[in-house]
Amino acid sequence: RVVLVVTHSLTYLDVCDQVLLLAPGGKTAFCGPPGQIGPAMGTTNWADIFSSVASDPDGANQRYLALTGPTPPPPPQEQPSDIGEPTHTSLLRQFSTIARRQMRLIISDRGYFAFLALLPFIMGVLSLSVPGTVGFGVPDPMGNAPNEPGQILVLLNVGAIFMGTALTVRDLIGERAIFRREQAVGLSTTAYLLAKVCIYAAFAVVQSTIVTAITVAGKGSPTQGSLTFLGPTLELFVVMAATTVTAAMVGLALSAMAKSNEQIMPLLVVAVMSQLVFSGGMIPVTDRLVLDQLSWLTPARWGFAASASTVDLIKLVPGPLTPKDRHWEHTASAWWFDMAMLGVLCVGYLTFVRWKIRLKSA
C-alpha cells in the first residue's frame, strides 16, 4: 500500500520513506530518502533549502539530474486490447433496482418515515374538527355550521396537497449529485423517474386511504349518490388519491427546480398556501380574472372540484356560500372532466421534471 501526502509541513518528514521536493514550475529539486536531503542539498536547514530552490529552480533541477542521471524514457505503450461492448442493463432491470432502493431509502430514514406515517392521521383528525353533525348531509343554513360539508372538503383538499407535496419535494435535490454520476454511466432517466413515481404514488394512495377512512368514520359518507359505478365513499377516496398523487408530481417539479436544500421549505410553503387559495373552497376563484386562469394549473382546483361534484356541494350548501361553478356540478361529465384535468396535470408536471433532469449534452 502506498500513501502519498502533499504538504508544506516539515513535521515528521523523517518518518517518510521518500521525500519529493518540487521547485517552482514543477521541476524536481530532490527525490529520495529523508536522510539524503543534507548531502544532496548541501544543508538540512529548510529555510535555506527553500530559498535556494525558489531563487534558482532550473539550477536546483540540474543539480538533481547531475546526481541521479537523466530520466529514463517511458516504456513503449502497449496496444490496448479490445474489452468488448459495455454491459447494458435493461430499462426494466434499472426500474426494479431504483424502485427497491427508493423503498429502502424511505424506510431507513426513520424520522422521515415516521412523519409520512403520522401525517395522514393528523390530516384525518383535523377534518373532524369542523363543527356540525351532518357531515356530508344538508346543514341548517341558520345553524352554527351552515357550510360544514364545504369546510370538510377544504381540509381534505389541503391535506391531500400537503401530503403529496411533502412526500416528494426534497427527493430530487437530495440525491442530485449521485443521480448525475449514475446518469453519466448509463442510468436511464426515464427508468429513474418512473421508479420514483410508482413508489411515491403507492405511498400517496395509502395516505389517502387513511385520511378518507378517518373522515368517513367521523363525519359519514357522501349522501347524494354516486356519479360512477364506484359508490360515493369509494368515489371520494379516488378523488383524494388522485389529488395526492398529482400533488406529489408538483413536489417533484419543485425539487427539480430547487438549487439547494435551503430552498425546499420556502417552495413547499408557497405551493401549499397558494393552492389553498386556488382550490376555490375558501376564496371563490370562479369567473375571477387571473385567479380562475391560474387555478387551472393547480391540482387543488380540480381535486376540490371533483370532491365537490361527488358530494354535490352546490345542493348541500346553496346560495352565496357556494359559487355556481360548472365543474362542481353533481354530474358524471363534470366529475370525469375534473379527474381528467388531474391526469393532465400529472403528465404535464412529469414531462417538466423529465426535461429538467435530462442528461445534458457536453
Residue 286 near residue 279 (C-beta atoms within 8 A): no
Strand partners, 20: 31
Residue partners of 193: CB distance under 8 A and separation at least 6: 350, 353, 354, 357
Q: Is the pLDDT of residue 354 over 90?
A: yes
Q: How many CB atoms lie within 10 A of CB 87?
A: 6
Contact 136, 316 (CB under 8 A): yes
Write down the pLDDT at residue 26: 86
pLDDT score for 8: 75
H-helix or E-strand spanning residue 237: helix 232-257
Average pLDDT, the chain: 89
Give the total residue count for the chain. Answer: 362
**Hey, CA dihedral for 106, 175, 261, 162, is it positive or negative?**
negative
Averaged pLDDT for residues 71-76: 73
* Cα gap 215→232, rounded to integer Å: 13
72 pLDDT more than 90: no
Q: What is the pLDDT of residue 191?
A: 94
27 strand-pairing partners: 23
Confidence of residue 81 (pLDDT cuts 50, 70, 90): low
Least confident of 80-84, 275-279, 305-309: 80-84
What's the Cα-to-Cα distance from 287 to each of 88, 319, 323, 324, 327, rounded to whole Å? 54, 16, 10, 10, 12
Mean pLDDT of 153-162: 95
Nearest to 57 by CA among 18, 26, 19, 20: 26
Q: Per residue in 311-347, pLDDT tens?
A: 999 999 887 767 888 899 999 999 999 999 999 999 9
Q: What is the pLDDT of residue 71?
A: 67
What's the burial of 350, exposed, middle or buried (CB within 10 Å: 0-12/13-18/19+)? middle
* Residues contacting residue 33 through CB under 8 Å, at least 6 positions apart: 17, 18, 19
In the three-class reduction of DSSP (H, G, I as helix; E, B as strand; rest coil), residue 84 is classed as coil
Cell of 285: 376563484
The residues spanned by each domain of the chain are: 13-68, 91-356
Q: What's the pLDDT tens digit per position in 1-46?
A: 678 888 777 877 888 889 998 888 888 999 989 888 888 888 888 8
Q: Which percentage of the chain shows pLDDT scores above 70?
A: 96
Please check the confidence at residue 80 and state whether its pLDDT lies above 70. no
Give every CB contact of residue 54 below 8 A, 6+ residues apart in sequence. Answer: 23, 24
| Percentage, residues of the chain above pLDDT 90 | 54
pLDDT of 86 > 60? The answer is no
- Please name which of 310, 302, 146 lies closest in space to residue 234, comparing C-alpha atoms: 310
Amino acid at 352: F
Q: pTM for the whole thing?
A: 0.75
- Asked whether the predicted pLDDT for residue 83 surpasses 60, the reply is no
Give the cell for residue 264: 425546499
Given a cut of 70, whether residue 51 has pLDDT beyond it is: yes
Long-range contacts of range 331-335, CB-CB < 8 Å, 24 or more positions apart?
331/227, 332/227, 332/228, 334/305, 334/309, 335/227, 335/228, 335/235, 335/306, 335/309, 335/310
For residue range 161-193, list pLDDT tens digits in order: 999 999 999 999 988 888 988 888 888 999 999
pLDDT digits (tens, 9 = 90+) for 289-319: 899 999 999 999 999 999 999 999 999 988 7
Assess whether pLDDT exceeds 80 at residue 73.
Answer: no
Residue 351 binned pLDDT confidence (cut-offs 50, 70, 90): very high
